[in-house]
Structure 1
Amino acid sequence: MLLGRDRKNINNWIDKTKDKEDFDSFKLYILECDNKEERFFKIGRTSKSIENRFKGNISIPYPTKVIRVAEGSAEAIYKLEKELIEINLRYKYFPNKSFSGDRECFSKIEL
């Protein structure tokens, strides 16, 4: 069940992205980031292609590999991201290098 705050966040996400030129679809992604010194996973959601999500000033300063991508409605993707983050909270990981989205990182992922 979505709380009022969640509904507002979903509506804001839709409004912010639906008419953008780079809109692709609503999706959840899981990335593996590994630079031999650190290895962790990033959970996130986007409305852009995965390639466009992490280019330019919002790139991830680690080599990445896409582990999984799921597409769906904005509501379904929002709920899925929230569930996965809650399930994996005990594996919370803080990368040595900061980047946009670095607070949704985990040393291990349970699906």
Structure 2
Amino acid sequence: AQEIEVFLQSLDKFHPTLPDSVAEHYLRKSGFHTSDVRVTRAVSLAAQKFIADIAHEALQHSKMRLSRDKRKDRRLVLTTEDLAASLQAHGVDIHKPAAAPPPPDA
């Protein structure tokens, strides 16, 4: 119980990458309302951790792909496929949008 209290107190001083106003907007949009900034910051912290994990795993996918590449130019490039593989490991499926339709004839 004391660990939780210390954690909650630390959230008062913590300023996450995701601003409170952005987190509050999406929390309200999903139907969650709170006046406790610590709750908002805890959600922001969880989102920040999730994004960091996804980015790290996508980087690992990119490095594995690069290690199989036999070309001379082996620059590290993060692709949508790397990101999709990382997201899929966390239960998030993404699909590339269909190609844009051709412009109408003028």
Normalising to structure 1: TM-score of the pair? 0.29
Richer in helix (by share): 2
TM (normalized to structure 2)?
Answer: 0.30
Higher strand share: 1
Structure number with higher relative contact order (C-alpha < 8 Å, ≥ 6 residues apart): 1
- Structure exhibiting the larger radius of gyration computed from Cα positions: 2
